[in-house]
Structure formats: C-alpha cells, structure tokens
Structure 1
Amino acid sequence: MMRKTKSLFVFGVASLALALITGDVAAQEILITPADPAISVGQTQQFTATGISTATALDAGSYHTCAILQDATVDCWGLNDYGQLGDGTQTNSSTPVAVGGLRDVATVTGGGFHTCARLGDGTLRCWGRNIEGQLGDQATAGWFSATPVPVTGITTALTVTGGGFHSCALLQNGTVRCWGLNDAGQLGNGTVAPSLFPLLPNPTPSEVMDISTATAVSAGGWHTCALLQNGTVRCWGQNNYGQLGDGTPVPTPATSRPTPVPVTVTGITTAVAIEAGIFHTCALLQDGTMQCWGWNDYYQLGNQSAINASSTPVTVDGITPASLAPGAEHTCVLHRDGTAQCWGDNQYGQNGNGSPSGIFAPPTAVVTGITSAIALTSGAEHSCALLPGGRVQCWGRGLHGRLGNGTTTDTFTPVSVVGLGVTWTSSDTTVATIDATGLATGKNSGITTIGAASDGGSGGTTLTVQ
C-alpha cells in the first residue's frame, strides 16, 4: 500500500527523529550444488544456490518494503519507527531483516506504518503501529508491536491489505472486514469515528456493509475499494479528491467528505483488478485498458490532463498493462513483456527512468533496466520490482533505507536489494547456457564456469559438457 509525502510527514503525524542505517554490507558466500558436474550436449543440469534468500512476492508500505521468501518467511527493510519491519526493534534498516516468528506466509501487505500477512491457514498476523487499532488484536492500549500479533476472529482470509491507518481482509465467502482508524468511514461499516486525540481505535474487525461478492480489496490512505464478481467496483471512506470514483463533484478547496458505506464507481463494469494509492485508485479492465480516478496533482492519473482531480474514471493514455502499482503521487504498471512504466511525481526518482528530479513524466518512458519483472509494487516515493531468480530491485527515495541496497540515497534508476535473489551466468555460452532459474543446457563440448551472484556475495563451479 502506498502513502503520500511531499516535504511534510505524510499523515499529519508529528515529526519523529529517525535513525538512518548506513555502512558496508558484509559479503555472503554462495554455495552452488551440484559441484563440478558433467553432462552431454543437449542435456540439462539444474543448479541450486544456497546461502542466499530468494523472494517470491513483495509489497511496499509507505516507507518500507517486505518480501516473502522461498521458505514462506518474510524479510522487510526501510523505516521502522513503529516496529513495522517486525524484527523486534525500532531501528531502521537499509538491508532486509527477518520478521520474527513468522512462518507459512501466503501474502504480505505494507500499510502506512504497519504490516500484515496472511498465513496458509487463513489467519492473519500484523505488526507495527497500533494507535488506531490497525493490528486488529483488540488492544485498546499500546502504541505499537514490533513483532507479529494475531488478528482477532479472522480464520478464512484470502488476502489482506494495509491502508494508511487501517487494514482490511477479503474472506472466502466474498465479504470484507476492516479495522483501525475510521475517521473518514474507511472501515465501511456505516459509522465515522472522530479523529481527535485521544483516538477511538477500532481494534476488532467489522464487516463492510453491502459487500458479499468481492474478489479483491485494496486499501488506500483513507479509503478502501473492492472488486466484485460482476466486474464493478465499490469504494468507501474519504472522498475529498474523488478517490471513490462515484462522480460526486470534488470540492474546491478540498475538504473532508467521509463516506462510511460503499458507493459504486461510475462507468466500470468489466474490471479484473484494482489497486488503491494514497488519494487515487486504478482499475485494470477486461479489454486490457487501465482507468484511474482521484487526485491528479502530479498527473498520476496518466491521462496528461491538467485537472487537479477526477471523481470519475479516466483512461490512461496508451497503456495496456498486466498489473497496477499506484503510489502516492506517482503510478507504475507492469507490462506483459516484463517491462515497467511509471509516471507522475519524480522529485526523488520514483519514475525510475533516469529523468532529472522534478520532471513529471507522462506514461511513455520505461523503467531503466527492468525487462523481465514478475511483480511490481509502489510505496509513497519508491517502487520495487520482483525479478527472476528471486531478485528485487527498487528505485526512488532512499530515506530510511527503503530501497534495501544498504544506503539511504535516492536513485533515479533501479538498484538491487542486498541479499535477495541470485543471477546465474555461464562464462562460455558456446559450451552451456543457463537461465534465470539456474537450469543449464549443454551446447558444445568444453568446460564453462557457472556463476551465481547477488549484491551480497557470489559463488561458482565448473560444468563440463562432453
């Protein structure tokens, strides 16, 4: 889930003193098995690398990112002021750290300052900020939990999504339950709770009204949307920038417009996927086109219109993506050929195409060097891609270490997350080639060196082709 920042702290929370983690990263030794095998021309050999973690899925929160690993555990990196990295500390990390005590993870989601995961048995765990009850553990006191806690009463979740200060789960029966902050009706239960301090947390999941056939759910900053079986989309919560897409005129200047019950997004009847950003939302349609609605101050809706906001969906010019990843004031998409595109605000390099800071890119330039991505996710001011071999690359703002490359430096092109994934090489491709999964194919007689490398280390072995 993605959050908004400019020069302010995103959600109006008082500024905090944040520790930055920097320094050198120790190299890891990668062991390749089998060692020094021999095959015939035309035969294949599967190699395996140990001593390195490989990512299978990932999701970005506002200022942190988490990845599910091959053993169904989770690593996170970035801001950790409320324990959202789950390692039992409140220390920021510019490299991945393991979430404590978490196993059998099926999906993970990053929220504003918290993180949640669905386990294989349909239960949920959350960690991080809990002032508003977004961890769902019925706690009415306590600011945060730096380790995972169980969400109360949910045992049949299909997925979970983290919003700014709330969370929602899609259940097997097509209903949706939400918990946490409800100052704009983002829980969808027909009520609005005051946002004055002391806050009135909603730490117990409650059912969203009038939603019984949902197939997907996505939480934004202060709003939530659900995709229904019939291809329509319904949204609820804050509507001050038209992010609910129901055609209600956008007020000028923008003022709070809580909507505590789901409303239907205008004109969308064939959606196959949805994703919510901080103040805007996007849908992928059955014909392959993409539509977005809500805030548009940096042209994040992708239609190159100067209008500040749209309360009805607009078509993104020339884009037919495979998946969507809206951020705060930028939007990214993954194409079927594995390339990625981003547009909108670029002051920290979040468009990933090497353009100078501050240039608002239209949806034309591709993200530099991303040619075989499997998945894509966006945070407030950064984005990350999952690549073959379990590798992850990120770009945009590096503050708090959210790019995972061992630094806190902004980057305008993708950089590799330390210690995740492996790149396979063959020193002589006329003898044998090797693909991104480590499968080598003998081409001609000879000897080649098979290498496995990550930003955290490397290893090698010989392959003889007879």
Structure 2
Amino acid sequence: MNTRKGIIQFLIMMLLAAAIVPSGGREVSAAAAAHPVSVSGGYAHGLAAWSDGTVTGWGYNKYGQVGDGTNIDQFIPKRIAGLADIVQVAAGNNVSFALNAAGEVWGWGQTYGSYISDDPALPYQKRGGPAKLVGLHNVSFITTDGSAGIAVMKNGTATLWYPSYDENDNMRMKVRYLPLPGITGIRSVVIAGNDALFLKGDGSVQQLSIYNSIMGRIRWASDPVTVNTLAASGIKQMASSGDNAFLLRADGQALRWNKTLKAPSEIAGLSSVYKLQTGYNKLYVLKTNGTLWQWNYNSGPLNQPFQVKGAERITDLWGSTGSFGFAQDKKGTLLGWGEGFYGGLATGSGTVTNDDTIAVAPVQTPLAFLLNGETVDFYGTTGVINGKLYVPYSSVFKALGVKVNMTQSNPDPKFNNYRFRVWSFAYGGTVIHIKASDPEQLFINGKKTERTISLKALSDATQFPLQDLCELLGISLKWNKVSGEVSLGDSGE
C-alpha cells in the first residue's frame, strides 16, 4: 500500500509540474501577461491582437481606422471596445479588419466606418466603431490591399469582399461578397496588384486575377476563371506589397514574383529565412538565427538587404502598407521600426529617414488613467515624450478638480509685441500659469520661476506634462509602465 501510495503521489507531482512548466522549461503563471498574436500596419496606423483576445489600435486616424470612435490621431495604443476573442488583425492604407475565433470579421476605417455628426462631446470628430461584415462566416484567415479583402474559409475556399455604392442610394456604401471559384484547400492568401495568390495546404501557390482589366472593374461572378500555378510545392509563407509578392520556400530561400518576372525568382542574399513580411517597397525578413533584415527593393540596383539594429532574438514579424514594421522578441515585447508618420509606430521614436539609423524600439503600452481607483476616459490622444506623460487639457484635469483656462499674454516687446497663449491650472491654493513662449515661462501663484516646463503639440492639440503639473499642484501620481496604469489622487498613495 505504501509503495502504491508513493507512486500515486509521484504521478500527481509530475502532472502538476507539467501543468505549470511548458516544454521549453520556463515557468509561467496563471496570470501571465498578454502577448501579441497578430499585428498589422496600414499607411500610418497600427493594430495588434493580443493573446487575451483584445485589440489595440494607434496612429493616423482621419477615417477612424484606429477604432477608438474618433478621427483624432492616437500616439499611444488604445484598446478597441466591442471586440473579443480576436485571433487576427489586418490593416491596409486607411482601413482595419479583425477576425475572431468563431470565424466572424469586423471592419472599420475608410469606407467601412460611419460618421457621427450629432455627438455633443465630439460633434465633428466622432466616428463609428468596428462593424461586422455580415457576409463572412467560418473564416480562418483574412487579408486586405487597403480597400478590398479576401477571406479564407475553414473549408479551404475563399471569398472576395469589397466596398461598393448601394444601387438604390449612390451616397451610401455597402460591402459586396464574391466566392472565388476554381481553388480549394487554401491555407492563406495575399493580394498583389490585381491578382490574388493562394497558398494551399500542400505548399503549392496558385494565382487568380481579381480585376477585369477589359471592363475596368473588380471581378464579377460571371467573369471567366483562369487559375495559374506559380509553385507546385515547397512554399510555406507569402507576403505582398503593391504588385510584388514574396514567397518563402521551405528551405529558407526568399522568392519574388510580379507580372514582369512571370515566375518566382530567388532573391540573392536572402536565405536562411524563417518568416517574411512587407512594407511599402520594402521586404522584411526574420532569419532563423533570430536577426531582422530589410531590403528596400525599389531603391536602386546597388541597394542590398541590411540588418535592422537592436533586433536580436526575434521570434515573430509583421508588416504594413506603410514604411514600417513590427516584431516580437523572445520576451514577448512588441517592437516597431521604420518611418512612423503620424505616430503609426507608437514607439516615440519619430520618423527615421536614414537606413543606417533604423533600429527597433518597444511599442508603448496602452495607458489607463485611474482617479481614486475609477477609470477616467477621454477622447484625445496621450503621449510619452522623452519618457514623460503628456495629456491634452480635455483629459484628466476636470476629473481631478483642476480648473484649466487659456488666455493671451500682454504684447511682448521682445517678440514684436506678439501675444502668446497663457494656460492656467488652478487646484487647491495653487495657480500655475504657463506662457507658451519659446522657451515656455512658468509662473506659480503669480511669481515667475526658473524651472523649465515644456509643452508639446500632438494631433493639433497642445499637450501638457502631466507628471510635472501633478507635482506642482500637489496631486499624487504613480505610473506603472508595465501595466500602463496611471493612478492619480488617493489611488496613488
């Protein structure tokens, strides 16, 4: 009996150990932090789906493509309401899409989102959020060229969708759906110009035109079907940008295809490839040794692939239709690099124009502002600039009880009698004035100080250094940079 009891106890201990230690040997907790499972970038905005099923969006937002319900550019990622169990995101130009585990698809942004003109808090900048694409069901994979999209179904077939004018109202857009014939067993798909390339489960790649060049329109169901085989086998992944498609062969060799090349051709210097993605006229490559490489293939014959600095022990890679990309390192950190116009990178690194200085930087964690433990929500963007928190005046100040006002200074003879904006912040017995001169001037209870305080401009809004102001006004603030929680007031004690 004792021997049997000992065996049972040993088996229980082994089962418990297997439950908490994965095959790699690293301990994980039940409340492990979420990591990115799918990331995609448009012209200047980004999306990320996380392992907990949530989605964050950031960057250029004129068409509501970030998904936060506004058209205000967002320089820090924001969690998108109304989406759950998301397993893949796809962005292109100024549109966004998300796929959930049940096979349903949502879209938002240009032509896929709605304007809301009567919102009292945001009368001219309110946008509708993600809307379900009702014609798509049982989907396993999605891709977009920035307007149309293709969904791969769980049964291995594919459906093309695209925006179109309603036949009864030429001012109203609707989404049309067209099942694509002639190809089955599909695993994934990319759009390269007017063509769709389908990667099948057997490693073959087939090509079908989705545009009728004779009629000058997208494919109709009545159009003839011509399917070409670009590779009979051996392909494990694809990516595309513009008219170019890139194929990854099972032996790690990267290939390029377009209508001029006719057949996929090997790219010199890009072997030992684990994964590839694209940006605008750029190919991004993750090699099997965990390093990250970039090839600006339309920048002249002498331009060669180069290694992206600071990118080591990379485990995953994603692209955009802009000039930037995203990667994940072994710790699960989401990184970005490239030209982040309008905050499309959300790394705070700004725009990079010299390839020699391109390097990765962590994508900022979404911020959650708490006042005495309660969430404070606001429309405008926040910023992290030189390691400091910045917020617009229409953010946390009202909830904190801080009175904010803007006036103009007296004519300043040092600046040709120019009148500067003067911002005031009043809380308790303290009144702070910031004169927006160059450099800014700080006054506390009417007395000028030599302390420096810096204002910034993001998304056409003046941004204020929250930590500096809270310190001057005597308001407690704690910022957890890992979780993104910013605790204000009593919750910061």
TM-score by length of 2: 0.58
- Structure 2 match to 1:100: 81
Q: Which amino acid aligns with 1:119?
A: N
Measure how far apart 1:154 and its partner are.
Answer: 2.2
- Structure 2 match to 1:403: 345
2:332 corresponds to 1:390: yes
SS in 2 for 1:287: coil
- Structure 1 match to 2:311: 370
State the distance in 1 between where 2:99 and 2:277 align: 20
375-384 or 212-221, which deviates more: 212-221
Q: Cα deviations across residues 6-39 of structure 1 (Å, max 9, x unaligned)?
A: xxxxxxxxxxxxxxxxxxxxxxxxxxxxxxxxxx
Measure how far apart 1:176 and its partner are.
Answer: 0.3
Q: Cα deviations across residues 247-301 of structure 1 (Å, max 9, x unaligned)?
A: xxxxxxxxx8988745324455321221122220011122322211128xxxxxx
- Structure 1 match to 2:69: 88
Asked if structure 1 preserves the Cα contact closer than 8 Å seen for 2:107 and 2:132, the reply is yes
Asked if structure 2 preserves the Cα contact closer than 8 Å seen for 1:57 and 1:386, the reply is no
- Structure 1 match to 2:262: 311
State the distance in 1 between where 2:316 and 2:181 align: 31
| Structure 2 residue corresponding to 1:231, chosen from 203, 215, 231 | 203
2:136 corresponds to 1:172: no
Measure how far apart 1:53 and its partner are.
Answer: 6.0
State the distance in 1 between where 2:274 and 2:172 align: 40
Asked if structure 2 preserves the Cα contact closer than 8 Å seen for 1:417 and 1:455, the reply is no
Asked if structure 2 preserves the Cα contact closer than 8 Å seen for 1:122 and 1:158, the reply is yes
- Structure 2 match to 1:294: 258
Measure how far apart 1:169 and its partner are.
Answer: 0.7
2:73 corresponds to 1:73: no
- Structure 2 match to 1:419: 365
Measure how far apart 1:343 and its partner are.
Answer: 0.6
2:244 corresponds to 1:280: yes
Q: Cα deviations across residues 170-191 of structure 1 (Å, max 9, x unaligned)?
A: 0011110011159xxxxxxxxx
- Structure 2 match to 1:271: 235
SS in 1 for 2:256: strand
State the distance in 2 between where 1:272 and 1:419 align: 32
Q: Which amino acid aligns with 1:414?
A: V
Asked if structure 2 preserves the Cα contact closer than 8 Å seen for 1:390 and 1:420, the reply is no
Q: Cα deviations across residues 393-427 of structure 1 (Å, max 9, x unaligned)?
A: 11111211011123643362112211179xxxxxx
Q: Which amino acid aligns with 1:103?
A: A
Q: Cα deviations across residues 336-370 of structure 1 (Å, max 9, x unaligned)?
A: 222111111698xxxxxxxxxx996412x211111
State how 1:165-204 maps to structure 2 within 5 Å.
165-180=147-162, 203-204=175-176
Q: Which amino acid aligns with 2:348?
A: G
In terms of fraction of residues, the more helix-rich structure is 2
State how 1:318-333 maps to structure 2 within 5 Å.
318=269, 319-333=271-285
Measure how far apart 1:145 and its partner are.
Answer: 6.1
- Structure 1 match to 2:97: 116
Asked if structure 1 preserves the Cα contact closer than 8 Å seen for 2:90 and 2:98, the reply is yes
SS in 1 for 2:263: strand
Measure how far apart 1:49 and its partner are.
Answer: 8.5
- Structure 2 match to 1:210: 182
Larger relative contact order (Cα-Cα within 8 Å, sequence gap ≥ 6): 1
State the distance in 2 between where 1:44 and 1:417 align: 24
Asked if structure 1 preserves the Cα contact closer than 8 Å seen for 2:339 and 2:351, the reply is yes
Structure 1 420/361 Cα, relative in aligned 2: closer, same or farther at 3 Å?
farther
Asked if structure 2 preserves the Cα contact closer than 8 Å seen for 1:374 and 1:386, the reply is yes
Structure 1 231/111 Cα, relative in aligned 2: closer, same or farther at 3 Å?
same
SS in 2 for 1:219: strand
Structure 1 262/124 Cα, relative in aligned 2: closer, same or farther at 3 Å?
farther
Measure how far apart 1:81 and its partner are.
Answer: 1.5
2:96 corresponds to 1:150: no
The percent identity for this pair of structures is 24
Structure 1 284/45 Cα, relative in aligned 2: closer, same or farther at 3 Å?
closer
Task: Number of aligned residue pairs: give it.
Answer: 324
Structure 1 287/53 Cα, relative in aligned 2: closer, same or farther at 3 Å?
closer
Measure how far apart 1:232 and its partner are.
Answer: 2.3
Asked if structure 2 preserves the Cα contact closer than 8 Å seen for 1:223 and 1:238, the reply is yes
TM-score by length of 1: 0.61
RMSD: 3.8
Measure how far apart 1:221 and its partner are.
Answer: 5.1
Where structure 2 has 5 or more consecutive residues not aligned to the other structure, the ranges are: 1-24, 115-125, 368-479, 487-493
Q: Which amino acid aligns with 1:332?
A: Y
Q: Which amino acid aligns with 1:163?
A: D
Measure how far apart 1:165 and its partner are.
Answer: 0.8
* Greater Cα radius of gyration, structure 1 or 2: 2
Structure 1 381/265 Cα, relative in aligned 2: closer, same or farther at 3 Å?
farther
Q: Cα deviations across residues 303-361 of structure 1 (Å, max 9, x unaligned)?
A: xxxxxx523211011323111102221101111222111111698xxxxxxxxxx9964
State the distance in 2 between where 1:374 and 1:92 align: 30
